[in-house]
Amino acid sequence: MCGITAYCGQNKALPFLMQGLSKLEYRGYDSAGVTTLEDHHLLTVKCKGRLTNLEEKLLSYKIEGTIGIGHTRWATHGIPSHLNSHPHNNKDETIALVHNGIIENYRELKEELLKEGYTFQSETDSEVVVQLLDHYYQGDLFKATLKVLQKIEGSYALCILSSLEPDKIIVAKKDSPLIIGKAQDAYVATSDIPALLEYTKDVYFLDDYEMAILQKDHIQFYTHEGVPIKKELTTIPYDLEAAKKDGYDTFMLKEIYEQPHVIQETMRGRINHDHISLDELKDIDFQQFHKVYFVACGTAYHASLCGAHVLEKLTRLPVISMVASEFRYNDPLIDENTLAIFVSQSGETADTLAALRLAKKYHATTIAIANVLGSTISRDADYVLYTCAGPEIAVASTKAYTTQLILLILLAYYIAQRLNKNVDLQLIHQLSHIPQYVEDILKDHTLFKEYAKLLENLHDAYFIGRGLDYASVLEGALKLKEISYVHADAYVAGELKHGPIALIENGSVVIAVALQPHIAAKTLSNIQETIARGAKVILLTTHNQEVKNIENTYYLPDIAPVLQSILVAIPLQLIAYYTACLKKCDVDKPRNLAKSVTVE
């Protein structure tokens, strides 16, 4: 969701604010703005639309301030507009703030303030916070902030600036990401690591119910009760080059081609001969568990479906996959004999984080699968396993998905070994060859570009598969609709005759995956049913299957069926990518979507 930047230092604030907002564009946004302190007054410049609109508007101002805050907004309360853009100011423009998250009780607070004579310029929940600050301010911004934090409910990352106390920025966090960096002659704050890499790799991770006062040469941390605390400085391993396109047309294409490397990195040190080694989990007694939950959202949920399938087959434990937003409100059966596994690329996904906290409330053992070092989910879980995908800039997930699949398969086999179950050693040996298989599939990119032409002028597409292949086609359909805006549905192949086949007509495109040997023949039979009704079929299968009269057939390597979910992701990603390119869509920043969904 929204992106935040803040700078308090010796040099001009605007360069940091703008480069940071540029690096946060991948999160999705519809407006942008900055506030800087200029000669003892606040200057706020903001506008609807892309960051380039703000850059053009800023050319009309002489901005010299060394303290400032910035924001890219993704609309939740109020339409995209100039007035709804951040930063928000109080009436006399002595206090400004940026906010990421949702203030759940803003209506009640707004009613109270209206009765006090306050007026509002926007429809946002965020403006309530700055008006509350104005209401409580009596010469001490820190004390006013403490009072506001006791009043507001919901999620927030806040950065607050005032001309009345021009030497500081106050920041606070609950459920929304906020990272503080120690740069040369400055302290900075951002929503995500790429926004500060150009200035520093030394960071503080702010936890929930914590706040800080940033000054140009000093920082102090507090609880939301105002009690001083100490925080550890962490040096992060990413470099700025990882966030650049390296000659690729888009970040998404770059990230697709990075998959052989990041898969290799995710497996590094975790396969020792015939054994899976996940030392991070060595203290868990897996014999105690009677049930396992996999909980995630979107692409991570599709990866979880695969992980859950493999774990249940290997261990015969009851394994349930649930979308995080459903898990929260479904009154799940959780106790101390429950293992709950939470998967999130960013580690900040709001619904997944809330589900994790629910599981912990009922004493489940929790494992996080995350990609971002120090993210909230990774800190809150009892145990954490990191994928090694590196920064993923494109909104549509690719390399994060395949590294999640790798790690979830490793986890399933590790648990099975710890439970003394028989495991397929051939699969463990084949894992080491996955990067090369992916590399070989990527070489066939021109073929997938040809397949994409079948979708260029269509508004609908249909994906079918069974078993593990169904999880794969769910992800393939999601990729296609995310970035090309082609309406895509995924069906269990055997369900076609129970309704969906009514949609198939002459010229329809069906993308079928048939990689599970025990049911592939059934899927191929379902494919023939669609061909008989005029469908054009793209089939992803292996040479082990007897394929008749399907022109657009791509054969994947004949490896263990469990691992096919990793390999088939590559053709599905590339078909979606090239379809989006043919339709001239903004591949890296699809409409209405955000990279890190940090509100419910």
Tell me how far apart the alpha carbons of residues 521 and 519 are, in angstroms, rounded to a whole number: 6
The pLDDT value recorded for residue 594 is 64
Same structural domain, 91 and 225: yes
In a domain, 591, yes or no: no
In a domain, 484, yes or no: yes
Same structural domain, 108 and 168: yes
Q: Which of 394, 417, 441 is the last residue of a domain?
A: 441
Eight-state DSSP code of residue 87: P
Q: Which of 408, 441, 474 is the last residue of a domain?
A: 441
Tell me how far apart the alpha carbons of residues 498 and 462 are, in angstroms, rounded to a whole number: 15
Residues 6+ apart with CB under 8 A from 63: 12, 14, 36, 38, 43
* Residue-number span of the structural domain to which 463 is assigned: 444-586
> What is the domain-level CATH number for residue 170?
3.60.20.10
Q: What angle separates helix 141-151 from helix 126-136, to the nearest 10 degrees?
A: 130
Entry pTM: 0.75
Same structural domain, 217 and 292: no
CA-closest candidate to residue 495, choices 472, 475, 522: 522
Q: Which of 395, 411, 441 is the last residue of a domain?
A: 441
Same structural domain, 449 and 322: no
In a domain, 596, yes or no: no
Same structural domain, 143 and 271: no
Amino acid (1-letter code) at residue 103: I
In a domain, 495, yes or no: yes
Tell me how far apart the alpha carbons of residues 497 and 4 are, in angstroms, rounded to a whole number: 49
**Strand pairing class (275-276; 271-272):** antiparallel
Token pair for residue 148? 């506001």
Number of domains into which the chain is organized? 3
CA-closest candidate to residue 73, choices 63, 58, 83: 83
Tokens 């009892």 map to which residue?
382
The pLDDT value recorded for residue 248 is 86
Same structural domain, 339 and 452: no
Tell me how far apart the alpha carbons of residues 176 and 353 are, in angstroms, rounded to a whole number: 10
Kindly compute the dihedral angle of the four CA atoms of residues 223, 227, 228, 230, in this order, to the nearest 10 degrees: -50
Residues of the chain with pLDDT under 50: 599
In a domain, 592, yes or no: no
Q: pLDDT (tens digit, 9 = 90+) per residue, 517-564?
A: 888 888 888 888 898 898 999 999 998 888 877 889 999 999 999 999
Same structural domain, 279 and 262: yes
In a domain, 499, yes or no: yes
For 303-361, give the secondary structure using H, E and C: HHHHHHHHHHHHHCCCEEEEEHHHHHHCCCCCCCCEEEEEEECCCCCHHHHHHHHHHHH
Left (φ > 0), alpha (ψ -120 to 50) or beta: where does 40 sit? left
The pLDDT value recorded for residue 27 is 62
In a domain, 436, yes or no: yes
Same structural domain, 500 and 481: yes
First to last CA, the chain: 11
Active site residues: 2, 595
Same structural domain, 100 and 187: yes
Q: pLDDT (tens digit, 9 = 90+) per residue, 147-158?
A: 999 999 988 999
Same structural domain, 171 and 77: yes
The pLDDT value recorded for residue 430 is 92
Same structural domain, 559 and 418: no
CA angle 410, 416, 422 (to 5 degrees): 115
> What is the domain-level CATH number for residue 421?
3.40.50.10490
The pLDDT value recorded for residue 553 is 93
CA-closest candidate to residue 49, choices 33, 34, 30: 30
In a domain, 599, yes or no: no
Same structural domain, 198 and 279: no
